[in-house]
Chain A
Amino acid sequence: MTGWSQALGAHPGAAAGAAETVSGNRGLQIEEKLLFEQDSPGHCGVDLPEPAGLAPRLGGTERKGPIGLPGLSEPQIVRHFTRLSQKNYAIDSGIYPLGSCTMKHNPRLNEKLARLPGFADLHPLQPPATVAGALELVDTLAHWLKTLTGMPAMALSPAAGAHGELCGMMTIRAALTARGDPRRRILVPESAHGTNPATAATCGYAIDNIPNNARGRVDLAALKAELGGDVAALMLTNPNTCGLFEDEILDIAAAVHSAGAFFYCDGANFNAIVGRVRPGDLGIDALHLNLHKTFSTPHGGGGPGSGPVALAAELAPFAPLPWLVHDHGGLRLVEHRDGEAAQSIGRLKGFHGQIGMFVRALAYMMSHGADGLKQAAEDAVLNANYLRVRLEGALSLSYPGPCMHEVLFDDRFLKDTGATTLDFAKALIDEGFHPMTMYFPLIVHGALLIEPTESESKASLDQFADTVLALAARARGGDATSFHAAPRLAPRRRLDETTAARKPVLRWRPEPAQREAAE
Chain B
Amino acid sequence: MSLLRFTKDHEWIRQEGDTAVIGITDYAQEQLGDVVYVELPELGRQVERGGEAAVVESAKAASEVYAPVAGEVVAVNDAIAADPATVNTDPMGNGWFIKLRLAEPAQLDGLMDEAAYRKFIAELK
Q: How far is the CA of A439 from the CA of B32 in the complex (A)?
A: 11
**Minimum C-beta distance from A472 to chain B (A):** 21
* Stretch from A27-35, A271-279, A497-505 contacting the other chain: A497-505
Q: How far is the CA of A502 from the CA of B36 in the complex (A)?
A: 5
Of the candidates A442, A445, A497, the one whose C-beta lies within 8 Å of that of B59 is A497
Q: Does B121 contact A (CB under 8 A)?
A: no
What are 18 A-B pairs at a CB distance below 8 A?
A439-B60, A439-B61, A442-B61, A445-B31, A497-B34, A497-B59, A498-B34, A498-B36, A498-B59, A501-B34, A501-B36, A501-B37, A501-B57, A501-B59, A502-B36, A502-B37, A502-B84, A502-B85
Query: Chain B residues near A442 (CB, 8 Å)?
Result: 61
Residues of chain B touching chain A, judged by Cβ–Cβ distance below 8 Å, are: 31, 34, 36-37, 57, 59-61, 84-85
Query: Chain A residues near B31 (CB, 8 Å)?
Result: 445
Chain B: CB-nearest residue to A502: B36
Q: Chain A, 416-458, contact with B by CB distance < 8 Å: what is the 0/1 string?
A: 0000000000000000000000010010010000000000000
Residues 333 to 382 of chain A near chain B (Cβ within 8 Å): none
The interface centre, meaning the residue of B36, B57, B61 with most chain A CB atoms within 10 A of its CB, is B36
Q: Chain A, 491-515, contact with B by CB distance < 8 Å: what is the 0/1 string?
A: 0000001100110000000000000
Q: How far is the CA of A497 from the CA of B33 in the complex (A)?
A: 11
Report how many residues on chain A are interfacial, defined by Cβ distance under 8 Å.
Answer: 7
Query: Chain B residues near A501 (CB, 8 Å)?
Result: 34, 36-37, 57, 59
Query: Chain B residues near A502 (CB, 8 Å)?
Result: 36-37, 84-85
**Minimum C-beta distance from B99 to chain A (A):** 25
Residues 279 to 332 of chain A near chain B (Cβ within 8 Å): none
Is the contact region of chain A dominated by helix, strand, or loop, or is it mixed? helix
**Interface pairs A-B: 6 shortest CB-CB:** A501-B36, A498-B34, A439-B60, A497-B59, A502-B36, A442-B61
Q: How far is the CA of A439 from the CA of B31 in the complex (A)?
A: 11
Chain A: CB-nearest residue to B124: A445
Query: Chain A residues near B84 (CB, 8 Å)?
Result: 502
Q: How far is the CA of A210 from the CA of B84 in the complex (A)?
A: 30
Chain B: CB-nearest residue to A447: B60
Query: Chain A residues near B34 (CB, 8 Å)?
Result: 497-498, 501
Chain A: CB-nearest residue to B37: A501
The interface centre, meaning the residue of B37, B57, B60, B61 with most chain A CB atoms within 10 A of its CB, is B60
**Minimum C-beta distance from B48 to chain A (A):** 12
Seed contacts A497-B59, A502-B37; 16 additional CB < 8 Å A-B pairs? A439-B60, A439-B61, A442-B61, A445-B31, A497-B34, A498-B34, A498-B36, A498-B59, A501-B34, A501-B36, A501-B37, A501-B57, A501-B59, A502-B36, A502-B84, A502-B85
Query: Chain A residues near B57 (CB, 8 Å)?
Result: 501
Residues 114 to 146 of chain A near chain B (Cβ within 8 Å): none
Query: Chain A residues near B37 (CB, 8 Å)?
Result: 501-502
Q: How far is the CA of A439 from the CA of B36 in the complex (A)?
A: 16
Query: Chain B residues near A445 (CB, 8 Å)?
Result: 31
Q: How far is the CA of A360 from the CA of B46 in the complex (A)?
A: 52
Q: How far is the CA of A439 from the CA of B61 in the complex (A)?
A: 8
Q: How far is the CA of A502 from the CA of B37 in the complex (A)?
A: 7
Query: Chain A residues near B61 (CB, 8 Å)?
Result: 439, 442
Query: Chain A residues near B59 (CB, 8 Å)?
Result: 497-498, 501
**Minimum C-beta distance from B16 to chain A (A):** 30
Chain B: CB-nearest residue to A440: B61
Q: How far is the CA of A27 from the CA of B8 in the complex (A)?
A: 54
**Minimum C-beta distance from A148 to chain B (A):** 34
Q: How far is the CA of A445 from the CA of B27 in the complex (A)?
A: 13
**Minimum C-beta distance from B117 to chain A (A):** 19
Q: How far is the CA of A292 from the CA of B106 in the complex (A)?
A: 54
**Minimum C-beta distance from A27 to chain B (A):** 31
The interface centre, meaning the residue of A439, A442, A445, A501 with most chain B CB atoms within 10 A of its CB, is A501
Q: How far is the CA of A501 from the CA of B84 in the complex (A)?
A: 11
Query: Chain A residues near B85 (CB, 8 Å)?
Result: 502
Q: Chain A, 48-78, contact with B by CB distance < 8 Å: what is the 0/1 string?
A: 0000000000000000000000000000000
**Minimum C-beta distance from A449 to chain B (A):** 14
Q: How far is the CA of A439 from the CA of B57 in the complex (A)?
A: 14
Q: How far is the CA of A287 from the CA of B85 in the complex (A)?
A: 41
**Minimum C-beta distance from A336 to chain B (A):** 41
Chain A: CB-nearest residue to B57: A501
**Minimum C-beta distance from A323 to chain B (A):** 38
**Minimum C-beta distance from B52 to chain A (A):** 10
**Minimum C-beta distance from A445 to chain B (A):** 8
Q: How far is the CA of A445 from the CA of B60 in the complex (A)?
A: 11
Q: How far is the CA of A108 from the CA of B113 in the complex (A)?
A: 63
Chain A: CB-nearest residue to B62: A194
